[in-house]
Amino acid sequence: AVLERVGDTAGRPLVVGCREPVGRRWYDGARVFSYGGAESSLVFERQFLRLEPGLDVETVDYWDDIAGKFHESVLRGSWTIDQEELENARVLTLWLHGNRAFHKGRMWDGISRAAYRELKSAGKTTLRYRNQEGVDSDPITYWETAAWKMKLTLNNREFQVPVITIEGDWEKNNAPKPEAWKSPILKDPKDGFVISRWTLLDDPEYPVFFRDGDCIQTVIPGTVTDAHSGRGVDDARVAIVGTSSETSSWPDGGFSLPLVRQPYREFEVRASAPGYAPWSATLDFRAADAFPIRVVMEPEARSETFAWIEAGNAAAVLPGLPLGARSRRLIGEVLVERPGVVVMVPLFPVVAEEGPVEAWVEISPETGECWPRMSDGLYGSTLADWLISKAAPKPWTGQHHAISYFSGRIAAWYLHAAGALDAVGTVVDGAEMSLPEMHRHAARVARALARMYDHAVLKVPGNPLVKGGSLQRGLEDGLQWADRYYGEVWK
């Protein structure tokens, strides 16, 4: 099974689903990159554009194997392996050539299906190797000497692929099957390539060669994070300049750009997100460590929309707020009477029909209660609540944080209630537990259930509750409160 991300017409990911690939292999449409040299530079790539009835392949050659240096200009080509050659070719080659006659009767970068079937049924097969000049070698008898799992990298994640190693000797030597990795080393006199040992996919339909260290890309992965918090940035727009490849980041900051069709080189990548300074960088996609792309965005400087006052900072903060003496006195009194309360005072003008008014919100982190209040001293003023929200600059991210935090508090209560029911059910079923033990059981169940917010709720794209970790903080505060409060009740 493979994960599938489904997007809307703008490319915005909507759903993560799981499906069984029907008639589709993981390398279908993928770009396969081979690296070499001391600096692990990109030397060759291929892309399987079509698998049926024959193979359509695009290649980009960065390295001149004969001269031992990089090409001044990359060599790009499109090639077809006809169905007849895919089925029955008795010649294999690593070379691609503009002369059609060169490719007649050969299988490029693999062996034919018929040769694979012979290996499996008879234990051996006989093939020739075609060098760069189109000259075929003497027949070589190949045996399957090892079946194993090769580590490849798919979209920067390691995975294991079933492969087989085939090794051989000249047919004329009538040699027995060699032990694994101990066959004679046969080289083509022109190419200098070893032609007596190959590793290929253990796949009867497409027994193509793969090399240890190959990297496969079906997308270009990356992450967008906040430079200060390290958290993912949701809904950032990421694009590769000069191409049609662009996408939006997920709530965790991850993104998957569509593959570009151009040969890899240096590309400019740009990102933008509400509330962040634009980001851009020129990246060399040929480097082995080019992916995942890591975008780190700086939040834009912006003025605070609220002052947060508590008992510890009231003396320093209250005198500088745009409030009259009566309002400051009322706030000071509530902080003395209830030292745990936090007061949220808007720093923007709040206007009613009769003109400017003074309004604020008092919040109890202990219980999750909040009381809008005006300078008339009345609690629970819906007018104050409405006036503040109406006057707040849009978008008011404070609304999202408040909703997220209190949603977490409510969720914690329900989770603890579920844990309590489970404790009661356990006792009804015959288990012996004291009240404190039942409370500890309820707390453990609530904590276990809370983990679902790490895996399900927080990963729904566009979820308005996912803002700056507020839901998680509310959830944690709520679980701690339930543990303390019900711990006293269930003594």
Q: Buried b vs exposed e over 218-247: b needs ≥16 C-beta within 10 Å?
A: bbbbbbbbbeeeeebbbebbbbbeeeebbb
What residue type is assigned to position 416 of the chain? H
The tens digit of pLDDT for each residue in 220-257 reads 999 999 888 788 888 899 999 999 999 999 878 899 99
Q: What pLDDT is attached to residue 137?
A: 95
Highest mean pLDDT among 26-30, 129-133, 302-306, 425-429: 129-133
**Cβ atoms of residues 2 and 21 within 8 Å:** yes
Query: How many CB atoms sit inside 10 A of residue 6's CB?
Result: 9
Q: Is 296 left (phi over 0), alpha (psi -120 to 50) or beta?
A: beta
Q: What is the mean pLDDT of residues 313-323?
A: 87
The tens digit of pLDDT for each residue in 18-54 reads 233 333 577 788 889 888 865 678 889 998 888 888 8
**Segment among 3-7, 42-46, 317-321, 413-417 with least mean pLDDT:** 3-7
Q: What pLDDT is attached to residue 195?
A: 96
The tens digit of pLDDT for each residue in 354-375 reads 667 787 888 877 666 777 777 7
Q: What's the half-sphere exposure (Cβ side, CA atoms, 13 Å) at 138?
A: 9
**Cβ atoms of residues 112 and 93 within 8 Å:** no
The tens digit of pLDDT for each residue in 115-149 reads 999 999 999 999 999 998 899 999 999 999 999 99
Q: What is the mean pLDDT of residues 258-280?
A: 91
**Cβ atoms of residues 93 and 106 within 8 Å:** yes
| Helix, strand, coil % over all residues of the chain, rounded to 5 | 25, 35, 40
Host H or E run for residue 421: helix 397-428
Question: Considering the chain, what is the average pLDDT of its residues?
Answer: 80
Domain 218-297: assigned CATH number: 2.60.40.1120
The tens digit of pLDDT for each residue in 201-213 reads 999 999 999 887 7
Please determine, for residue 452, whether its predicted confidence score (pLDDT) is greater than 80: no
- What is the percent of the chain where pLDDT is above 90? 30
Q: Could you write out the DSSP letters of every residue in 29-60?
A: T-EEEEEETTTTEEEEEEEEEE-SSSEEEEEE
Please determine, for residue 214, whether its predicted confidence score (pLDDT) is greater than 80: yes
**Segment among 58-67, 264-273, 326-335, 459-468 with least mean pLDDT:** 459-468
Instruction: Report which of residues 114 and 432 the model is more confident about.
Output: 114
Q: What pLDDT is attached to residue 463?
A: 42
Q: What pLDDT is attached to residue 404?
A: 62
389 pLDDT tier (thresholds 50, 70, 90): low
Q: What would the two tokens of residue 68 be?
A: 């031992």
Please determine, for residue 219, whether its predicted confidence score (pLDDT) is greater than 80: yes
17 pLDDT tier (thresholds 50, 70, 90): very low
Q: At what angle do helices 435-450 and 397-428 cross, to 10 degrees?
A: 130
Largest CA distance in the chain: 106
Highest mean pLDDT among 43-57, 103-117, 391-405: 103-117
Strand 13-19 relative to strand 31-36, pairing: unpaired
Please determine, for residue 454, whether its predicted confidence score (pLDDT) is greater than 70: no
Q: At what angle do helices 470-489 and 435-450 cross, to 10 degrees?
A: 170
**Cβ atoms of residues 91 and 129 within 8 Å:** yes
Query: How many CB atoms sit inside 10 A of residue 398's CB?
Result: 20
Instruction: Report which of residues 429 and 357 the model is more confident about.
Output: 429
Q: Buried b vs exposed e over 135-173: b needs ≥16 C-beta within 10 Å?
A: ebbeebbbbbbeeeebebbbbbeeeebebbbbbbbebee
